[in-house]
Amino acid sequence: MDFSAPPEHERLGAATRAVCERFGGDYWQDLEPDSYPEQFVTALTEAGLLAAPIPTEYGGGGTGLAAASVILETINRSGGSASACHAQMYVLGTLLRHGSEEQKRRLLPAIASGERRLQAFGVTESAAGSDTPLIETAAERTEAGYTISGHKAWVSRALHSDLMLVLARTTPLEQVERRGDGLSLFIVDLRAAGDSVRIRKTEAMVNHATSEVFLDGVEVPADALVGVEGQGFRHLLDGLNAERILIAAECVGDGRWFVDKAAAYATEREVFGRPIGANQGVQFPIARAHAAVEAADLVRHKAAWLFDRGEPAGAEANLAKLLASEASWHAANACLDTHGGAGFLRRNDVERKFRETRVYSVAPISNNLVLAHIGRHVLGMPRSY
Ligand SMILES: Cc1cc2nc3c(=O)[nH]c(=O)nc-3n(C[C@H](O)[C@H](O)[C@H](O)COP(=O)(O)OP(=O)(O)OC[C@H]3O[C@@H](n4cnc5c(N)ncnc54)[C@H](O)[C@@H]3O)c2cc1C
């Protein structure tokens, strides 16, 4: 076993840090509650970082998932939020694996150059919740392609994206053998859709630029379909291991930010005539948080390593997402406690990062469903959902 980081990871980490240094805490604070970090995303794009996992023949960096995850980790570790742009990396896997050669040639170079953003994916619907096969958004075949109608909730970055990956039903639920059948994935061109797509901002605890998206008979050409009609849910599930590994990396980045910030404050802040970090009650939660983050990071790297070798990575990807989101949340609490009242000051960034990292236990998939996956698919217990 070799635990040393490959030079490519060092290089991407350094390149990402160089961009992040230009966007400090003030930048992220000023964006709250719901402004989009346009300049930051442009800077990452210009540095070629958001195109890292796009194959070189389509104008990208041609990296694997492990290397791409270093970029997201570094953004969060630097005090920023990868949520501004992570969807491009989550969604790309689906396009790379299931998109046609024509779709890749048409879309990927423009995405790699930043000319077109693929930052939005619309899966969640209010009534269906985590039970995705119950979604009601439907796509009907027409002579030219499909007409999509429905309502998506919680679509992050839809107002800042040119393209959106949409999951829609192409065969009614009652006509399919298995609940996950009959769903299809489409790349919707939000600019071309005109008034048939309406986007309404959703106010939320974190700045993910989330919105509701109303699809009112959106006409898309036949080549908007990604992969095989009716197999969209399976195509989506295929990409989930990548998504979970990337989320784990973001959590590790957050966790390290909290641990560093807490350790520094515990060393510098003096109360009762000595640094607060000299008290075990302050020091040990930070040390424990550090241990949990580092352990989660090992599982994240193992999952990414398996994924990049094309080996089954489902167990490790789910473990990594669970462990890393729990570790970053514990680190967030240790950091907030260490800061006392100062943790609640906006200018210290702790309260913002605290809110931001909390999301990872719930979205894009809640940890209960991750546990259900581990219970059923890794440990062979009966289905619990
Ligand atoms: C900030 C943010 C950004 C988001 N961005 C996007 C996006 O870009 N695109 C998108 O499609 N979606 C997005 N989402 C939605 C997100 O994916 C969902 O919120 C998430 O999958 C959980 O679904 P839900 O909210 O419907 O919860 P529900 O399904 O209603 O579940 C509520 C709670 O019950 C639990 N639960 C439900 N059933 C079971 C069971 N059988 N066993 C155990 N526990 C269960 C869940 O774990 C959860 O804790 C976003 C959400 C947030 C908060």
User: What atom in ligand 1 is closest to the CA of residue 204?
Assistant: 1
- Write out the DSSP string of 109-122: HHHHHTSS-EEEEE
pLDDT of the residue at 31: 96
Q: What integer pLDDT is reported at residue 226 of this predicted model?
A: 97
68 pLDDT more than 90 = yes
Calculate the CA dihedral of residues 133, 134, 137, 138 and round it to 10 degrees: 70
Instruction: Based on the fold, state whether residues 310 and 333 are members of the same structural domain.
Output: yes
Q: How much is the pLDDT for 89?
A: 87
47 lies in the same domain as 149: no
Calculate mean pLDDT across residues 239-258.
Answer: 96
CATH number of the domain to which 79 belongs: 1.10.540.10
Min mean pLDDT across 139-143, 198-202, 238-242, 365-369 is at 238-242
* pLDDT confidence band for 26 (50 / 70 / 90): very high
Min mean pLDDT across 56-70, 90-104, 352-366 is at 90-104
Percent of the chain with pLDDT over 90: 94
* DSSP-assigned states of every residue in 13-26: HHHHHHHHTTS-HH
Residue 352 domain-assigned (yes or no): yes
In a domain, 385, yes or no: no
Residue 35 has a pLDDT of 92
Ligand 1 binding pocket includes 187 (Cβ within 6 Å): no
Q: What is the pLDDT of residues 288-301, one digit of tens each?
A: 999 999 999 999 99
Of all protein residues, the one whose alpha carbon is nearest to atom 42 of ligand 1 is 385
Supply the CATH number for residue 299's domain: 1.20.140.10
Regarding the beta carbon of 75 and ligand 1, being less than 6 Å apart is answered no
Q: Are residues 131 and 222 in the same domain?
A: yes
Domain boundary among 230, 257, 273: 230
Predicted confidence at residue 149, as pLDDT, reads 98
Coil vs helix vs strand at 146: strand
Last residue of some domain: 113, 146, 172? 113
Q: Which of 362, 381, 384, 385 to mutate to test the pocket of ligand 1 (most atoms within 8 A of CB)?
A: 362
Nearby residues of 8 by Cβ (< 8 Å), 6 or more positions away: 63, 67
Do the strands 210-221 and 163-169 form a parallel or antiparallel pair, or are they unpaired? Answer: unpaired
The answer on 356 and 243 residing in a single domain is: yes
Residue 332 lies in a domain: yes
In a domain, 339, yes or no: yes
* pLDDT reported for residue 92: 86
Residue having the nearest C-alpha atom to atom 21 of ligand 1:
365
Within its chain, how far is the Cα of 268 from the centroid? 34
Measured from the CB, is residue 153 less than 6 Å from ligand 1?
no
- Of 88, 113, 138, at which residue does a domain stop? 113
Using a 6 Å cutoff on CB, does residue 126 contact ligand 1? no
**pLDDT the model gives residue 107:** 96
Ligand 1 center from residue 211 Cα (angstroms) = 15
**Cβ–Cβ < 8 Å for 358, 366:** no
In a domain, 1, yes or no: no
For ligand 1, whether the C-beta of 43 sits within 6 Å is no
Based on the fold, state whether residues 35 and 169 are members of the same structural domain: no
* 367 Cα–ligand 1 center, Å: 9
The residue nearest atom 53 of ligand 1, judged by CA position, is 363
Q: Is the predicted pLDDT of residue 91 greater than 90, yes or no?
A: no
Q: Are residues 301 and 182 in the same domain?
A: no
Q: Any idea what the CATH number is for the domain that residue 128 is in? A: 2.40.110.10
pLDDT confidence of 1, banded at 50, 70, 90? confident
pLDDT digits over 354-374, tens only?
999 999 999 999 999 999 999
Say if ligand 1 is within 6 A of residue 204 CB: yes
More confident residue, 344 or 237: 344
Per mean pLDDT, which range of 1-10, 11-20, 332-341, 345-354 is the poorest?
A: 1-10
Return the best residue to mutate from 126, 243, 366 for the ligand 1 pocket (most ligand atoms within 8 A of CB).
366
**371 plus 276 within the same structural domain:** yes
104 with 132, same domain: the answer is no
Same domain? For 225 and 239 the reply is no
CA–centroid distance, 58 to ligand 1, in Å, is 34
47-74: average pLDDT: 96
Letter string b/e over residues 147-161, b meaning 16 or more CB atoms within 10 A of that residue's CB: bbbbbbbbbbbbbbb
pLDDT of residue 238: 78
Which domain, by its residues, includes 123?
A: 118-230
- pLDDT greater at residue 239 or residue 12: 12
Q: Is 170 in the pocket of ligand 1 (CB under 6 A)?
A: no
Q: Are residues 365 and 287 in the same domain?
A: yes
**Residue 23 domain flag:** yes
344 in the same domain as 292 = yes
What pTM did the predictor assign?
A: 0.96
Question: Looking at the structure, do residues 282 and 368 belong to the same domain, yes or no?
Answer: yes
Q: Before 33, cis peptide (omega within 30)?
A: yes
Q: What's the average model confidence in pLDDT over 156-177?
A: 96
As for how many domains the chain has, the answer is 3
Ligand 1 pocket test: pick from 34, 124, 185 the residue with the most ligand atoms within 8 Å of its Cβ: 124
Give me ligand 1 centre to Cα 225, in Å: 25
User: Is the beta carbon of 359 within 6 A of some atom in ligand 1?
Assistant: yes
Question: Is residue 185 one of the residues assigned to a domain?
Answer: yes
In a domain, 383, yes or no: no
Q: 364 C-alpha to center of ligand 1: Å?
A: 7
Residue to probe by mutation, ligand 1, list 34, 36, 154, most atoms within 8 Å of CB: 154
Is the C-beta atom of 364 inside 6 A of ligand 1? yes
Hey, which of 85, 118, 130 would you mutate to test ligand 1's pocket, going by the most ligand atoms within 8 Å of its Cβ? 130
The string of pLDDT tens digits covering residues 279-336 is 999 999 999 999 999 999 999 999 999 999 999 999 999 999 999 999 999 999 999 9
Q: Count Cα atoms within 13 angstroms, Cβ side, for 134.
A: 7
- Mean of all residue pLDDT scores within the chain: 96
